[in-house]
Amino acid sequence: MTEQTPSAPSRPRLRVAPSPTGDPHVGTAYMALFNLAFVRQQEGSFVLRVEDTDRARFDATSEAQLYDTLSWLGLTWDEGPDVGGPYAPYRQSERLDTYRPYVERLIADGHAYHCWCSTERLSAMRERQQKLKQPTGYDRMCVGKTREERAELEGFTETPVVRMLVPEDAPTTFEDVIRGTVSAPRPDDQVILKADGFPTYHLAVVVDDHEMGITHVVRGEEWISSTPKHVLLYQWLGLTPPKFAHMPLLRNENKSKISKRKNPWARLTWFREQGYLPEAVVNFLGLLAYPPAKGEDGTDVEKFTFADFSRDFAWSKVNTVGPIFDLKKLDWLNGQYIRDLDVDDLAGRLLPYLQTAGVLGENPSLGELARLRSITELISTRMALLSEAPALVAPFYVADDELKIAQDARDGLKDDAPAVLDAAITALEGLHVPDGVLSAEAREGNQWHAEQIEAALRAAIVEGMGLKPRLAFGPLRTAVSGQRISPPLFESMEILGQHSTLARLRRLRSELG
């Protein structure tokens, strides 16, 4: 055990320390972002520590998800279980020998004691306290007793835990980097070593933060009430505590705390499933509890990179009021990022969603990929999420006779739909499209281009039939895409080609009788 605080690190060392108990929480990314912004600004070190001492809730797949999702967001760490580092191991379950000497010292110094109370006795004790409207907390039945003395009393269990012996004058205030002087309730006799030999969070976090040289502990405000316990442990062990910063909790629109049980977006994996871009998610998290920068004209700059956020970061700017998790704002941001992507980059990001949906196979052909690039240019302004792409893209890869017409699109057709389709078929049949491999001269004579397709259809339907442009092309959109809302119509027809376009128009026309 380290007997005294090591020399202070010359640069800040911060950490994020999630528990692998299921899908990683979005709050983990939120905390990681603020930690990492400060670390990179100060040229310090960022540590990922896995706090896996809760063996009852431990989920073996959660740790891998944690690495995957944080890496996807670009919130990368300098030290951790997967990359190693000078303070390894970085999993608490692999550090059990580290904690035992600290526990033994606390017991020897009279700051901790063994407790043999059974789970049943503790439950009955809490129930009684609640009925009598007394403060809940351990009643210290085991304090000052040997095992033999305690065994003669009710509610005894063979395997004890170890509890802190909190003095009446325990400090209840501490300095917070974000909040200033903070007051918290007086702590009770917290368990610091469980019956299974694993430390609780309270002991492990103090020992690990000390041994790993952590300079700033940044965590959610729900840990404010626990901080006096940690300050006590630092004092008893003769260690210098880190600086504390307690971030406001993420809230739903009704001000309730976001939870994985009630809110799917509390799961960090949900954002990739839904088709959010990682840079948009990071940008959005950076707007929570933190003011946007001001542009030269004084307006808020709501779209920024991690580098922008880190460069100007200051703890003093953090707003302690719980930020509202506004998914509409995230959707808007994501759409902005999608439209800013290079077409090849966007097509590459769409590909996994199209393959998952079965629109494209595992190994698409060069022709299919070339078509995807053309389609991507059409649909980039029509998506807020990458997951919306399969519905927009699928019509371009399905056989003409297998295209499904959505019921709402079919129901929206007017009585003049057959006449509109007849006029469109005649007009498009009149466009010259050379057969076979085109020579340069033949390519110049090819009339199957969006501009000429549009001109022919406007002449035939808008001018020829006297229909308003807003209503004229609905039947054509339905025939070509199967949807009421689709990518740009004339460009879609150009990509599909004359043969497929006419086949789809004729098919819908025949179905209408």
Strand order in the sheet with 243-247: 45-48, 13-16, 216-220, 243-247, 173-176, 180-183
Contact 79, 90 (CB under 8 A): yes
Q: How far, CA to CA in Å, does 490 sit from each of 116, 398, 420, 469? A: 78, 18, 15, 13
This prediction has a pTM of 0.90
* Residues paired with 84 in a beta bridge: 80
> What values do phi and psi take at 220, rounded to 5?
-70, 155
C-alpha to C-alpha distance for 118 and 160, rounded to whole angstroms:
9
* Residues paired with 244 in a beta bridge: 176, 217
**182 is a domain residue:** no
Q: State residue 4's pLDDT score.
A: 42
C-alpha to C-alpha distance for 169 and 171, rounded to whole angstroms:
6
C-alpha to C-alpha distance for 452 and 458, rounded to whole angstroms:
10
Q: State residue 437's pLDDT score.
A: 47
219, with CB counted inside 10 A (0-12, 13-18, 19+), is: buried
Residue 428, domain extent: 402-513
Q: State residue 7's pLDDT score.
A: 56
Number of domains in the chain: 1
**133 is a domain residue:** no
Tokens of 125: 């004790």
| 260 labelled ligand-binding | yes
C-alpha to C-alpha distance for 216 and 57, rounded to whole angstroms:
27
**352 is a domain residue:** no
Q: State residue 509's pLDDT score.
A: 95
Instruction: Please work out, in degrees rounded to the nearest 5, the angle formed at the alpha carbon of residue 456 by the alpha carbons of 451 and 461.
Output: 125
Which H, E and C letters describe 255-273, residue by residue? CCECCCCCCHHHEHHHHHH
C-alpha to C-alpha distance for 58 and 18, rounded to whole angstroms:
12
Residues in the chain, how many?
513
C-alpha to C-alpha distance for 360 and 357, rounded to whole angstroms:
8
> Which residues are designated catalytic?
260
Q: State residue 262's pLDDT score.
A: 87
**488 is a domain residue:** yes
Tokens of 513: 């009788």
Taking the chain (513 residues) in runs of 10, the rounded mean pLDDT of each run is: 53 95 93 98 97 84 94 98 96 94 98 98 96 92 97 96 96 96 94 94 96 97 96 97 97 87 91 97 96 89 95 96 94 97 98 97 96 96 96 95 94 94 96 67 77 96 92 94 92 95 97 90
Q: Look at the alpha carbons of 409, 411, 417, 418 in this order and tell me if their dihedral is positive or negative.
A: positive
Which H, E and C letters describe 332-358, residue by residue? HHHHHHHHHCCHHHHHHHHHHHHHHCC
**414 is a domain residue:** yes
Q: Is 199 helix (H, G, I), strand (E, B) or coil?
A: strand
Q: What is the CATH number of the domain that holds 420?
A: 1.10.10.350
**369 is a domain residue:** no
Contact 274, 335 (CB under 8 A): no
